[in-house]
Amino acid sequence: MVVIPGDGIGPEIVEQTLRVLEAAQKGAAFSLDLEFHSAGAGEHRRTGRALSEETFEACKRANAVLKGPVGDPAVRAPDGTEAGVLGGILRTGLDAYANVRPIRLYPGVASALSGLAPGAIDYVVMRENTEGLYASRGRGFVSPEATLDFMLMTRRGVERIARKAFELARTRQGAPKDGVRRVTCVDKANVLRGFAYFRQIFLEVAKGYPDIQPECRHADATAASLVQDPGRFDVLVTENFLGDLLSDLGGGTIGGLGMCPSGNLGDERAYFEPVHGSAPDIAGQDRANPIAMVLSAAMMLHWLGEAAAASRIQEAASRALSAGAIRLFPDGTVRDGTVAAGRAISGEL
């Protein structure tokens, strides 16, 4: 596997994650072969490119990639966008079209929403990763007087992300509130024809999954429901930009983005990273919550066929939180430090 430590808090949370992976391998029948590569804003500053050809080839060859957060607001392209981020390059480059973002309230974590038991929030945002509004990344039209970005929806793109969402729903226990296996298509079909197209194809794909309840909702109202009634959601499938927004909203209800892992899955390749950014403001202070990174590694093991080890890591993190060995501040940083959090999880293993 390829490991990209990343920028800002990346190296410190990746270090704790490798500690956890090491503990997970003890006595297990698999072993991970690590190949470290530099990519991101630091790499861009040094070489003028965020991702070298060599690292990209290594990612393509690897069975899986574990990537820390990257980016630095100071490293910018001439058009004003960030030059040190990799989302566009890796997601399209590896054709990792499904961005799987589980949103789950763990025991011992205080939600910003009141009166919720652990497990009362447990849904997955299935974000389309290679088209939508972000297909316009670096390709929009820019003049001194105006700019124009576009939103791409293709039949192939919508079909494959919709199928992934229904397949995922089949492996889950349904929404926490009513146990119904449900896939919610989130769009603005009332306003934009691209979203109407997305919805239409979603409903066509849904016919192939009679065991799963399909529903369609507008993104603005869904944002409100994710706050007011999150327990009714199971799997949400949505366009790239909306998925970017709604998954962070979800993170805000489960203890912050430091609790949000993700997988970028293609049919052949995949890479795993926390949903959050590189948080340069708290880098090197032993404050970053490593759990999103650790849970991303667990998702990676699942992808690699080591589902038992993946569950063991997830349960170890859950126990460390519920026992109070990892405690979060309201801002999402860890009270007792990043290193102590990593030790607590590997200790549980």
Residues that bind Mn ion (CB under 5 A): 244
Q: What share of the chain is helix, strand, coil (3-state, %, to 5)?
A: 40, 15, 40
Show the tokens assigned to 224.
């409100």
Q: What's the one-letter identity of residue 108?
A: G
> Binds 85, which of ligand IPM, Mn ion, none (CB < 5 to 8 A, cut-off by type)?
ligand IPM
- Where b means 16+ CB within 10 Å and e means fewer, 197-226 reads bbbebbeebbeebeebbbbbbebeebbeeb
Q: Which one, 87 or 255, has the nearer CB to ligand IPM?
A: 87
Residues 6 or more apart in contact with residue 169 via CB below 8 angstroms: 181, 182, 183, 209, 212, 234, 235
> Binds 103, which of Mn ion, ligand IPM, none (CB < 5 to 8 A, cut-off by type)?
none
Residues 6 or more apart in contact with residue 170 via CB below 8 angstroms: 181, 209, 211, 212
Report how far residue 40's alpha carbon sits from residue 6's, in angstroms, rounded to the nearest whole number: 6
Query: Taking the complex as a whole, how short is the minimal distance between the CB of residue 244 and ligand IPM, in angstroms?
Result: 5
Q: Which one, 245 or 325, has the nearer CB to ligand IPM?
A: 245
Q: Which one, 100 or 301, has the nearer CB to Mn ion?
A: 100
Query: Taking the complex as a whole, how short is the minimal distance between the CB of residue 315 and Mn ion, in angstroms?
Result: 27
**Residue 258 is a binding residue for ligand IPM (CB under 6 A):** no
Closest CA to 128 of 201, 212, 207: 201
**Residue 85 is a binding residue for ligand IPM (CB under 6 A):** yes
Q: Which residues pair with 264 in a beta bridge?
A: 99, 271
**Residues forming the active site:** 134, 188, 220, 244, 248
Angle at 227 between CA 224 and CA 232, to 5 degrees: 95
Strands 35-36 and 2-4: parallel
**Residue 189 is a binding residue for ligand IPM (CB under 6 A):** no
Q: Which one, 109 or 275, has the nearer CB to ligand IPM?
A: 275
Query: Taking the complex as a whole, how short is the minimal distance between the CB of residue 181 and ligand IPM, in angstroms?
Result: 26
**Residue 72 is a binding residue for ligand IPM (CB under 6 A):** no
Q: Which one, 82 or 348, has the nearer CB to ligand IPM?
A: 82
Among 71, 256, 332, 342, binds ligand IPM (CB under 6 A): 71
**Residue 87 is a binding residue for ligand IPM (CB under 6 A):** yes
Q: How many residues bind ligand IPM (CB under 6 A)?
A: 5
Query: Taking the complex as a whole, how short is the minimal distance between the CB of residue 173 and ligand IPM, in angstroms?
Result: 26
Show the tokens assigned to 29.
């029948």
Query: Taking the complex as a whole, how short is the minimal distance between the CB of residue 53 and ligand IPM, in angstroms?
Result: 20
> Binds 176, which of Mn ion, ligand IPM, none (CB < 5 to 8 A, cut-off by type)?
none
**Residue 244 is a binding residue for ligand IPM (CB under 6 A):** yes
Q: How many CB atoms lie within 10 A of CB 324?
A: 11
Q: Which one, 244 or 273, has the nearer CB to Mn ion?
A: 244
What is the contact surface with ligand IPM in residues (CB under 6 A)?
Answer: 71, 85, 87, 244, 275
